[in-house]
Amino acid sequence: MRKDIDIPDVKGVYVAIVPEKIEGELSWYVNLINDNESSLTNVMVSSSGYLKKQNGEEIRTSVLRHMIADLPPQSYAKVESIMEDVFQLNNQFWVSYQMNGKMYDKKYIFLAESISEDNFSVIPVIGSKGVLIK
């Protein structure tokens, strides 16, 4: 039964959206951060955007899925690029992985309009500024 299932808390795994200047152009990237002392294996990241307007209209993006075989300790991986056009939406990232023989999963949501310089902080492991969800 459900009470018999051990669902461990996710600690030390974050999602950050970080801007980068590449050849003079500003690009934004979604990064998965492993701030643990153990590797993450069989990492699945599912991303989507959505918003329900006041008039009842719903906006949804396609669902994208990414696989990362191994994410070493104290490292990060660029998951996908993200366009500024979708910053007006809620951007959801569902992350599932294995660590030390246990399965973990967590949903990270960047609320609409939250991806902005007003919400920047220094991102652990990466060291540059961006928006972080723990």
Tell whether the model's pLDDT for residue 1 goes beyond 60.
Answer: no
CATH number of the domain that residue 86 is part of: 2.60.40
- Report the pLDDT value the prediction gives residue 62, as an integer from 0 to 100: 96
Pairwise CA distance, residues 110 & 125, whole Å: 20
- Report the pLDDT value the prediction gives residue 6, as an integer from 0 to 100: 77
**Whole-Å CA distances, 4 to 1, 7, 16:** 5, 9, 33
Pairwise CA distance, residues 83 & 88, whole Å: 10
pLDDT tens digit sequence for 40-92: 999 999 999 999 998 989 999 999 999 999 999 999 999 999 999 999 999 99
Residue type, 26: L
Give how many domains the chain has, as a whole number: 1
Torsion of CA 93, 11, 8, 82, to 10 degrees: 10
pLDDT tens digit sequence for 60-69: 999 999 999 9
Looking at every residue in the chain, the average pLDDT score rounds to 95
pLDDT level of residue 121 (50, 70, 90 thresholds): very high
Domain span holding position 112: 2-133
pTM of the model: 0.93
